[in-house]
Amino acid sequence: MSRALRPTRNPQSVALAIMALRAYASDQQPRNDFEAHIFNALRQMDVAQGDATRLVRNFDRLSPIVRRRVFGAQGFADAEPSNGVPRREPRDVLHRRTGFPGVLRRFQRPGGPAAEIEEQVLAPNRYGVRYKGMHCIDETGWDRLGSDEVYIITSAVHITPDGQNEVETIRHPFQAGESGVYGDVDSGETRVGPVASCWSALVADLDGGMSITTNVMEHDEGDPDAYRDEVDKAVKLAIAVASYACPECAPILVLIDASGLVTDFFNWLLGTGDDVIGTSTVVLEQADLENYSRTPLRDYFRNQQPTGLRHHFLASVNDNDYVATFEVTRDPRAPLFEPVVE
């Protein structure tokens, strides 16, 4: 089946990244500093040449007319390399801040006499993010004419203090060591769990924060595990490009910049056997992780009814067709912040 391609926000970066990916897959020597950076980053993140080859083949299977319209001559195998993706300043990335910190205004650190308790709280050793389940607001196609068969791929990223990119990609629903598909999903329906860890890192290995990309797929004739692997490699390519484009950026800004590239790479590099319903990336600073981990879970409501999805933050895709929910954990656990009395 063919995929309905979405508008591309950064055609030049996508085209140059695919050219670098093509050279990497062919075991060529890097032709400029950009390609050298991409090659090194992909090797560091264990992206094999075979992985790169599969992504490039997905791109080459797309209509040549569409590729030429979007990328010009750079959309083809015989394109000439340029100097690479333009460099950016940190201030150019700041406006792309993502995440959902607004909920935290409803809570505050203990004040008054209770402030002494706060000083006794043990510092966090590790944070984690757990997937809690999903809700279908509006199924694909016409209601009651067929249900969706859905699975979700999460890809979480953090950058270590020594500059290493750590990526963890998981397919949901995940239970007993195996991944499945949510079947017979209709508008207004909820699937609670199976709860699964998406990401975990020691604070000592965390330089500023993390990001989590949620990709909702409609299962048709594709291989979900193959898509999971392709999503993983596309996210790694986005991180590699973002770290080159803004070399002076703090790691959290690299994650923010990469979030703007992820959807474009999914658009052009994933296979077409299953359909992408939507993609969302949330970037959380370490302060967000601390605050969420110490904020009570709240229920996700639809039409004034609780769904049973107890969460800290949401990932809404494709104009809220689907919503995935997540919880932030802290080790050791610490007292929750007090609700604000208004």
DSSP 174-239: EETTEE--EEEE-TT-EEEEEEEEEEEEEGGG-SSEEEEEEEEEE-SSS-HHHHHHHHHHHHHHHH
Q: What is the DSSP letter of 172?
A: E
DSSP conformation class of 136 = E
Residues of the chain with pLDDT under 70: 1-4, 94-120, 141-146, 176, 319-320, 338-342
116: its two tokens: 């002494």
Domain span at residue 57 reads 11-75
pLDDT for the residue numbered 97: 52
pLDDT tens-digit map of 190-202: 899 899 999 999 9
Q: Which two tokens stand for residue 313?
A: 């933050």
pLDDT at 321 (0 to 100): 86
- State whether 204 and 303 are in the same domain: yes
Tell me: do 55 and 145 sit in the same domain.
Answer: no
**Nearest Cα to 74, choosing from 287, 273, 141, 83?**
83
What pLDDT, on a 0 to 100 scale, did the predictor assign at position 311? 93
Same domain? For 190 and 333 the reply is yes
Dist. CA 236–CA 177, nearest whole Å: 24
CB 214 within 8 A of CB 324: yes
**String of DSSP letters for 263-316:** HHHHHHHS-SSSEEEEEEEEEEEHHHHHHHHTS--EEEEETTEEEEEEESEEEE
For residue 301, which of 290, 310, 289 has the smallest C-alpha distance? 310
Whether 80 contacts 29, CB under 8 Å = no
Predicted pLDDT at 204: 93
Could you give the number of structural domains in the chain?
2
How confident is the model at residue 5, as a pLDDT? Answer: 73
Beta bridge partners of 283: 211
Under DSSP, the state recorded for 120 is: T
Domain co-membership, 134 together with 271: yes
In a domain? residue 86: no
Asked if the structure places residue 186 within a domain, the reply is yes
